[in-house]
Structure 1
C-alpha cells in the first residue's frame, strides 16, 4: 500500500487588528511555502474579507491555507453589527465592546481546536488562553508578537524597573535603564496601562505571564 505523507495541520489565531492580522497571514504563507504544512486561519467574516482575495490570488499557498470563520458575538456585548476590527472602532467604548466580544470567542474557538486537534497553534499575544488549550491537546503553541526588538526591550525595562514611578510629573524626563544607549521618555508618552491600572493592563500582564513558559518568536 502506497504511503501518503500527512501534512502538519497548523492553526493560526490572529488578533482582530489589521496590524496583527496581516503579518500573521503572511506568516501562515511562510509556513506553507516550506512544504508539508496545511494552515487554518481562524477569524471572523469581516476580518477574513481583509485578506481572502490575496489568498485566492496566491498560487503557491492555494489549497494549503484554509479560512475558518466564527460568528462575532456582537449582540451579547452591545457591539454594532459588522464591527469586528479595531480599525473600525471610532471610540474607546467601541474598543472595549470589541475586546469583550473577542473574549466570548474563547470557548467556541477552544471547541474548534478540540474537534480538529491541530499539530501546532500559532496564536496572537492577545489570546493567552490558547496556552491551556494547546497543553490540553498536547500541541506546541507559538506566541505571535508583531513588534520589533527595540519595543520589547523598552517595554521590558519599563515593566521591570518602573522608572516612570520615580518622577514627579508627567512632563519630567526619565531614563529607561539597561539599554545600550541613553533613551529618555516622559510619563505623558506612556500607554495608559503603564500609568494606571486598567483592564487592558491586566490583559497585558496575563500575556507576559505566559511568555516565560512558551515558545516565543518575533517574525520580523
Structure 2
C-alpha cells in the first residue's frame, strides 16, 4: 500500500501512472477540508508558496490519520510506503505490525546531511549566515552556509515548522527503512554511510524515470505538456548534437519578472540554441519581462515553452547538451540518466545539497552562484553570472570533460535498473525481506 499526499487535482495523474501496470490497483482517500491547503499548485503564482501555507498543508495531512487507520483494518496490507508528511503512519504501522517504509524523494547525500544537521546543529555554531561550515560526520567535507539552509532549521525551537521537522525525524527512526530514488554508483559513499555508519535500513531503486521508456510514458509524466511533443521533437531534430541548452526550474519555483529578464538577456548573449520552460502564460499583462524583440532575434535558435514541458523526452534527445536546473532531485536524476552536465541554480528545499553532489562530488555541473535559500522566488542572479555558467558548461575543454563524466554516469544509471544492476538487486532484496515476514 502506498500513502502519498496528492491533492484532488493530481489524482488523475497518479491514477494514470498506476493504470500502466496491469497488476496495480489503487484506493483513494477523500479529504473534505475546505480550509486546508490541499494543493500547493493551486496557490496563485502572485502569492507564492510561503511557510504558513506549507504549515497548513502539513495540518491537512494529519486529517488523514483516522480514515487511514480504518482502511488499514479493512485491507490488512503487507507493507506501507509512506511519504514524510504522514508522521503518524509509523505508529499505525507498528500498532498493526506492518513494516512502514519512508519515501521523501531526496538523495542519500540529503539524508546524511539531514542527520548531521539534526544531531550536531552546525548552523548554530557560526557567527553569520554567510560563514561556511562543514557538515559533521558526512563523507567528503561537504560545506554549506546557514543562508543556504531551509529556514525551518534556523528558526526557534517553538516554531510550528521546527516542530514538524522533529516529528519527521522521530517518524524516520521508527520506520522499517527508507526507499530512495537513487542508485549505488551515483553516491556510493553516502549509501554506505547511511547504512553502515548511521545504521539505517535503506534501498535504492532508481532512477525510476528509466523504468518506463516508451515515448508516451515520457510525454505523459506529470501534467499534460503545454507544447505538442512532435513539434518539440521536430525542432530538436533540426539541431546539431549537444548544441541545445535546456532551461527549466520545475513546478514550484516562481521567478519574478526581473529574474526572467536577466535569464533572457543572458541566454541570448551566450549565442547558444535553447529550450526555455517558463511558468508564466503569454498575455499582454505578463510579457513585460521579455526584452523587446527577443523572440524575433532568437527565432530558429530558441523555443519557449509556457507551462509544462515533456522534460524526459527533451533531455533524452541527442541535440540537448546541458540542463539549467533548480536541482530538484527528480530533475537532477533525469539529467543524470540522460548523461548530461548541469548548470546548477538551487532555490529552496534540499536543492543546495543536490547542487553540492553535482558540482563538488560528481563534478558534472557549474553553479550560477546562488547564495541564499529564498523559498520559491530564489536568490537573484545577474545576467553575467548566468551567461558565464552556460558558456562554461557548453564550450571549452572543461565542458568536454564534464560531458564525458556525465555520459559515463548516465550509462551507470541505465545499468543500475537493468536485470542484475545495483537498483534491480536492491529492489529484489527488499521484496525478499518483506516476503519473509509473511511466512
TM-score normalised over the length of structure 1: 0.70
- Give CA-to-partner distance per residue, 1:147-180, whole Å, 9 cap, x none: 1111112111122111111111112222222333
Paired position in structure 2 for 1:200: 161
Q: Report the Cα offset of residue 181 of structure 1.
A: 2.2
Tell me if 1:178 matches 2:132: no
Alpha carbons 1:148, 1:218 under 8 Å: kept: no
Match of 1:209 among 157, 170, 176: 170
Distance 1:194 1:129, change over 3 A: same
1:22-171, aligned counterparts within 5 Å?
45-56=8-19, 58=20, 61-62=21-22, 64-75=23-34, 78-79=35-36, 84-89=38-43, 90-92=48-50, 93-171=52-130
Alignment partner of 1:218: what SS? strand
* 4+ aligned runs moved over 6 Å, structure 1: none
Structure with larger Rg: 2
Distance 1:53 1:213, change over 3 A: closer
Give the superposed CA RMSD: 2.1
Alignment partner of 1:168: what SS? coil
Paired position in structure 1 for 2:2: 12
- In 2, Cα distance between equivalents of 1:186 and 1:163: 9
Alpha carbons 1:125, 1:144 under 8 Å: kept: yes
Q: Report the Cα offset of residue 87 of structure 1.
A: 3.1
More strand by share: 1
TM-score normalised over the length of structure 2: 0.37
Alpha carbons 1:121, 1:140 under 8 Å: kept: yes
- In 1, Cα distance between equivalents of 2:32 and 2:123: 38
Tell me if 1:218 matches 2:218: no
- Give CA-to-partner distance per residue, 1:121-168, whole Å, 9 cap, x none: 111122121112112222221222321111112111122111111111
Distance 1:106 1:65, change over 3 A: same
